[in-house]
Structure formats: C-alpha cells, structure tokens
Chains A and B, each alone.
Chain A
Amino acid sequence: MKEQWRLLKTEDNSAFTNMAIDKAVMVSCSRGKVPPTVRFYTWKPPAISIGYFQSLNEEVNLDACKSLGVEFVRRITGGGAVFHDKELTYSIIIPESNLKVPKNILESYRRICGAVIKGLKYLWIESKYAPINDIIVNNKKISGSAQTRKSKTVLQHGTVLLDVDVDKMFKLLKVPNEKIKDKLIADVKQRVTSIKHISDNNVTFNETSDAMKIGFEEEFDIELVNGILTKEEISLTNKFERECFSTTEWNYKK
C-alpha cells in the first residue's frame, strides 16, 4: 500500500493567512501531529510576498500596492519578491527524516520541482528544472520556489503561473534602476510565461490542482488524500497571523 499524505485545498486567503497556514502546518508536522502535507492555494486579494532576507521598502512600491488593492507579506523562506495573482501556489511540508525527500537541499529542490514538472505534463506542457529554484518552458520561467527547514521539517512553497501581467507586476515592484525600467519590463516579458500563454486557453485553478495532485503522487509514489486543517493548525494559524505575519515588526524587519 502506498504511503498516504494529506492534500489541502485552501483557496482565496489573505497574504497573512496563507503564510500563517504554511507555518502552522510546518509546526504541526514537526510535532508529528499530521502526515506530510501538500497544499494548493490562491491569494485574495492579490499579494506580493518578499523573501525572508529582502527589504520591504527596497523591493515593493507600497503606494502602488495601496492604490491597486494588493497586500504584502514577508515569507519565512528566502528568495525574491513574487506577485501572486493568477496562479496556483503549492506548498509541501514533510519531515526531513522521510526518505522521499533528499537530505541535500539542492537535490530536494530538484525532486519537489519534479512533481510540478510531472503535473504540467498532465496539462500538455513540457517543462524542465532550472537550478536553483525555477521551472522553465522554452527557456521561460513558469514556476519559482523557495524552501526552508526548521525543527527537522522541510517546507517548500512555490508558484505555477496560470496567467501573468508583467506591466502590473512592475507597478508593484521597485526596480534597481528606473532609467532602464522599460527595458527590464521587455526583458521580463521575454523570460516569463504562463499556462495561458502556452496552451492558449484559460486553464482553471481546479484543473491545474488536479494535474498537480497527480504530479506529486507520481513523483513521490504516494497517495494524496483530501483533508482539512486540524483544530490545532487553525489555532496556530490565527496565532501566527496575529503575532507575526500581520505585524509591522515582521514585515518591515529589514
């Protein structure tokens, strides 16, 4: 019998809640209270997440966020700023002791991205892993990921772009040099793609999550069983949202 992991689908949460859920599941998993978990989710309203080591003021145009109704939050993972709009976001939380995920961090990125690559195949999209943390289609990025390890537990979350609006993204993110902003936008348009751009039709979140479910099951030779957050996880989510992710101290840490 195949190892059973939990599958969570939690659509349309705020940026603070989404990051709090990932952390709550990680803590719960590290205490042995829940099985390895894969979560598929979306952001409502759209949001910018910045990497743990980034400066909010340096990376994000906060006035534009306010006027466009876009939230912002600092992640517990490193990496760069991401505009979460029309996408499926995944997270995988698993004990480091589980042999399905390599001990070596770079190898584990490759393995987990392998699940996303297999999922994209079920949407008729051929993609490949681009180290350190990207997945590309015809040399254009369609997915980016970030991983942390705490309390002997691995958390990796990442995006799968359903559609992308590069112009809006650049209104929200600051660029190092305003003088070359137009060129940067043109460059990024050449280097980023989405399921919609490739397949030329609107693939829904549910269709994508169905494909990703199979991708994770095949990559890890496991069965994903639909589940919900436990009472403890809901309580931890509320705590982390209130005490961490919604606070000025956390988001303006750098």
Chain B
Amino acid sequence: MQSKSVYKIPNGKLIKIFLDYDSKNKLINNICITGDFFAYPEESIDLMEKKLKNTLLTKKDLLEKINSVIKKYKIEFIGLNAEGLVEGILRCIK
C-alpha cells in the first residue's frame, strides 16, 4: 500500500514522507524522506531509507532503527529529529 504524509516538525522544518508498506504485517517496503531540512552528511538520508526497509511500523521499532543509524553514521540533523521522523512515518498509516 502506498501513502504520503506532510508533517511540520515542531520548531523545525517540513517533511514529506512517501511510504510503500505491507498493510498486513505492517512492514516498510520502501520509503522516501523529503523536505527542507538539513542532514550532515546529506547521503545519510539515502542510507536511512535503505535501513528502514522491512522495519515494523511501530513507534518503538522505528525510533530504535532511526536512532541506531544516527549513532552509527554520526548523522547531524538541523530542523529534523528522530521523533519527528517517526511521527511523519506513522502519519502515513493513520
């Protein structure tokens, strides 16, 4: 199933998430994270999209996965944060 969300991060930037997911088992097939935020290094968002594949669409699983990628690859966000990204993703399935 395909879905899209638009979410303004509190005190941050606007993100638009395009999500392709399995509605039965709630797993991410594909995700595209777009918006006017900043991320350093920029390529980390491509990496984040790849790592989020097959992640269960729950707050806990998403936050764990996103935080582990941020830590592993030393990603610095401006106008975006892990919680905001999770909220944007979960709004795709509401």
Q: Which residues of A contact B33 (CB under 8 A)?
A: 53
A contacts with B, residue count (CB < 8 A)? 23
Q: Which residues of A contact B40 (CB under 8 A)?
A: 105, 148-149
Q: How far is the CA of A81 from the CA of B35 in the complex (A)?
A: 10
Chain A residue numbers with a CB within 8 Å of B36 are 51, 53-54, 78-81
- Chain B, interface size: which category? 20 to 34
CB contacts (< 8 Å) of A228 on chain B: these are none
Query: A181 at the A/B interface (Cβ < 8 Å)?
Result: no
B14 to chain A, nearest CB (A): 8
Give the shortest distance, in Å, between A108 (CB) and chain B (any CB): 11
Query: Smallest distance from the beta carbon of A58 to chain B beta carbons, Å?
Result: 6
Q: A-B contact count, CB below 8 Å?
A: 54
Majority SS at the chain A contact face = loop
- B contact face: mostly helix, strand, loop, or mixed: strand
Tell me the complex Cα distance, A140–B80, Å.
23
- Interface 1/0s, chain A 171-203, versus B by CB < 8 A? 000001000000000000000000000000000
Q: What are the residues of chain A within 8 A of B6 when measuring CB–CB? A: 176
* A residues near B45, Cβ cutoff 8 Å: 53
Q: A53-B45, A58-B16, A148-B42 are in contact. Are A105 and B78 (CB under 8 A)?
A: yes
- Complex Cα distance, B38 from A77, in Å, reads 8
**Which chain B residue shows the least CB distance to A150?**
B41
Chain A residue contacts of B35, Cβ below 8 A = 51, 53-54
A-B contact pairs, 8 of them (CB 8 A): A53-B45, A54-B35, A55-B16, A77-B38, A78-B39, A79-B36, A132-B79, A176-B6
